[in-house]
Amino acid sequence: MTRIAHWLIISALLFIFSIQVFAQNIIPLQISDQSKLDLSTSTYVLKKQNVTDVNHVLVESDIYWRKLQPADTKMIGAHNFWLQVEFTASSSSVSRIIEINNPHLDQIKIYHFVDGVLADDIVLGDSLPFAERLFNTHSFYYPIKIVTGQTQQLLIKVDTEGSAHLPLTLWSNKALLEHKESQVLVDGIHLGTLIGIGCFSLFFAFASRSYSYGYYSGYVLCMTLIIATLNGYAFQYLWPKWPSLQQNVLPIILPLALAFALLLTEKILHLRNQNVYMLRFCRYGASVAIFLSGLSLFISYELALLIDLNTIIAVAIALMVLTSIQAYKGHKLAKLYAFGWGLMVIGACMSCLSYLGVLTFDYPPQVPMMIGLTLEIGVMSVILAIRYNDERKSKMRIQQKALIQAERIRKARESALTAETKSNAKLERMVQERTLELEVAYRELNEAHDKLKEQTTIDTLTGVKNRSAFDKKLAAESKLSRRQSTPIALMMLDIDRFKLINDTYGHLAGDLALKAIATRIKDELKRPADIVSRYGGEEFALILPTTDMAGAMVLAEKIRKSIKSLRIEWQQQRISLTVSIGVSSAIIIDDAHALKLLEQADKALYFSKSNGRDQVQEFSIRFNATAV
């Protein structure tokens, strides 16, 4: 209800005083097909101060409005600053966007009237979170549709503690998009170059432990953050949810950049050995700058910015004079440093004077400083490269002298050690020979140990793994099956009527049968992980990791058929062999499951033999009932 009442009051006042307001001598701007239009020449400013409400503005007579002059906005701080601009479409209706290209305006209130009736009001500014803007850009924009036959009037109230620079531009959508694309590209290259230089210098400072590069990286990164803040990119990308930080960051960073510049000057010009007075000036100045950075947290933004700008101008001029003195004295780097610093001083002074309202340009106040800064950083990079190269050459000369001295010492020691070397040579050869003998003996011992260890796991008759190796392998594969939830299959294989073979042909024939069957089983196993072991007299056991029942049954049947086709020649007689096989498979779930799985394979073998031999049987629950 309050908002509705507010609108009704404004509408009533508009109706009452429409004759006075719109009869003022303000000439509407004719809009046709222009893609870009500077509104500064068509904007009017309210002469009367301390008008806080739009209702009061509407009742003022035309004598209080005058054309906006460039000097009106070249100042630090502006409160209750009212602007007015009117539009009409000359031929056809057009859509345009108004740009206010100063990201540091604290609060902008726009009242949009169409034929004297309030159509819209909006609040912009960096005192609000970035997400509340109409457009996701670093500048402020307000879209407007200018319809033929209508008069569009904008009343703009500005309140800010920072720069009151108010560049107003009317853009077509296409022209604004093209302009912003090129501007963002240039700004991105500029900021990216500065960030790259700053980060590289910081990395180099840590790598080389160079204070010069450390101060230089601090200076470059601070200036990069200042430029990003001035252009609005810092608020857009770094702290969009903290408008209070956006409003106070410049008075904090500006003195820090000045402190790094003073400390860098001390290192580059070697002031400790060259000029003690300049050394004190740089160190005291850096301390004062750091103090001003902290002080800005406790005073108003406007006052802090005025103090910072005046301090920067004073220190910049003083540094220019002092470096010129050092250059006059013949310091190698002072001349180049004075040139680079002079570029920065000129740009910074022009920007500061523009912010203070002393100078007036057609471009934003920060442009001279950014140009001077870019050139100065390039010169400083060259200076640091020269200084680093000089230091490197100096270190190389010192190292060369040290090497010469070391060479002399080495030759003196060499002559003294010659006799000792000869006497030690024979002893060293003896030690080497003995060491070699020990190494050979140790290697042979290891090989013998490995062979012995291998023999303890091999059945001497058949050449396959023995029962002990089978038990260890079963325990290991069971743990793996349990951990990975993969199946493991076991086979129990028994030679049919093996006792009859022994009784008929003798034990040597039985041994030959065991060897032949073991060899045939090994030939059928294709995977390295599968093993066969001699489990008992005529029994063999197989472990098949990651094998389910179906796969195990296929392999078991293949082994059975292969052995059945086997014929053993013994004393001019051919012995036929068959085997019975029991198979079990499962995923191991506990420590006792492996033995249970082996028992199941044995039961399946038992069923295979009792069911007629020469066959493969998989374990079934009915075996338990049969066993009972």
Q: Which whole number is the average pLDDT over 515-532?
A: 92
For range 430-441, the mean pLDDT = 76
Structure confidence by residue, pLDDT tens digits, 457-498: 898 888 899 998 999 999 999 999 999 999 999 999 999 999
Q: How far is CA 229 from the centre of its chain?
A: 22
Kindly report, residue by residue over 130-163, the tens digit of the pLDDT. 888 888 887 888 888 888 878 888 888 888 877 7
As a whole number of angstroms, the distance between CA 168 and CA 40 comes to 6
pLDDT of 108 > 90? The answer is: no
Residue 170 predicted with pLDDT over 70? yes
Q: Once rounded to an integer, what is the mean pLDDT over residues 96-104? A: 84
Question: Are residues 150 and 89 in contact, defined by beta-carbon separation less than 8 angstroms?
Answer: yes
Instruction: Please give the full DSSP string across 549-579, using - where no structure is assigned.
Output: HHHHHHHHHHHHHHHHT-EEEETTEEEE--E
pLDDT band at 519 (very low <50, low <70, confident <90, very high): very high
Three-state secondary structure string covering 150-183: CEEEEEEEEEEEEECCCCEEEECHHHHHHHHHHH
Distance CA 415, CA 225 (A): 64
SS3 category, 97: strand
Q: What secondary structure, in 3-state letters, does 447-493 show? A: HHHHHHHHHCCECCCCCCECHHHHHHHHHHHHHHHHHHCCCEEEEEE
Token pair 């230091």 is at which residue?
Answer: 391
**Range in 192-196, 202-206, 320-324, 547-551 the model is least confident about:** 320-324
Q: What angle do CA 93, 96, 98 make, to 5 degrees?
A: 145
- 615 vs 351, which has greater pLDDT? 615
CB 233 within 8 A of CB 187: yes
User: With a threshold of 0.85, does the pTM exceed it?
Assistant: no
pLDDT of residue 32: 74
Asked if the model's pLDDT at residue 15 lies above 60, the reply is no
Tell me the pLDDT of the chain averaged across its residues: 81
627: confidence class by pLDDT, cuts 50, 70, 90: very low
State CA 60 to chain mean position distance: 57
One-letter amino acid for residue 413 of the chain: R
Q: What is the pLDDT of residue 364?
A: 67
**Which range, 322-331, 351-360, 387-396, 407-416, is most confident?**
407-416
Neighbours of 271 (CB within 10 A): 21
At 1, the pLDDT band (50, 70, 90 cuts) reads very low
d(CA 576, CA 264): 98
Is 50 exceeded by the pLDDT of residue 282?
yes
Residue type, 436: L
Predicted local distance difference test score (pLDDT) of residue 25: 64
Instruction: With a cut of 70, say whether residue 36 has pLDDT above it.
Output: yes
pLDDT band at 625 (very low <50, low <70, confident <90, very high): very low
Q: For the chain, give the percent of residues with pLDDT over 70.
A: 88
Please give the backbone phi and psi of residue 591, each rounded to the nearest 5 degrees, phi first.
Answer: -65, -30
pLDDT tier, 360 (very low <50, low <70, confident <90, very high otherwise): low
Higher pLDDT, 506 or 268: 506
Assess whether pLDDT exceeds 50 at residue 52. Answer: yes
User: DSSP for 98-117?
Assistant: EEE--TT-SEEEEEEEETTE
DSSP, collapsed to helix, strand or coil, labels residue 148 as strand
The contacts found for 51-60 with CB under 8 angstroms, 24 or more apart, are 51/80, 51/82, 52/80, 54/10, 54/109, 54/111, 54/121, 54/155, 54/157, 55/9, 55/10, 55/13, 57/82, 57/155, 58/13, 58/14, 58/17, 58/21, 59/13, 59/17, 59/20, 59/21
Judge contact between 357 and 349, C-beta under 8 A: no
Would you say 502 and 510 are in contact if contact means Cβ atoms under 8 Å apart?
Answer: yes
Residue 327: pLDDT over 50? yes
What pLDDT does 357 receive? 59
Maximum mean pLDDT: which of 67-76, 371-380, 382-391, 509-518: 509-518
Residue type, 363: Y
Mean pLDDT, rounded, for 13-22: 41
Contact 83, 123 (CB under 8 A): no
Separation of alpha carbons 564 and 583, rounded Å: 18
DSSP assignment string, 198-266:
HHHHHHHHHHHT-HHHHHHHHHHHHHHHHHHHHTTHHHHHT-TT-HHHHHHHHHHHHHHHHHHHHHHHH
Query: What is the three-class DSSP state of 545?
Result: strand
pLDDT range class, residue 606, cuts 50, 70, 90: very high
d(CA 231, CA 100): 12
pLDDT at 61: 56
**579: nearest Cα among 477, 490, 447, 491:** 491
Rounded average pLDDT over 69-73: 71
pLDDT of 406 higher than 90: no
Which amino acid appears at position 271 of this protein?
Answer: L
Which pair of structure tokens corresponds to residue 545?
């990791």
The DSSP 8-state label assigned to residue 506 in this structure reads -
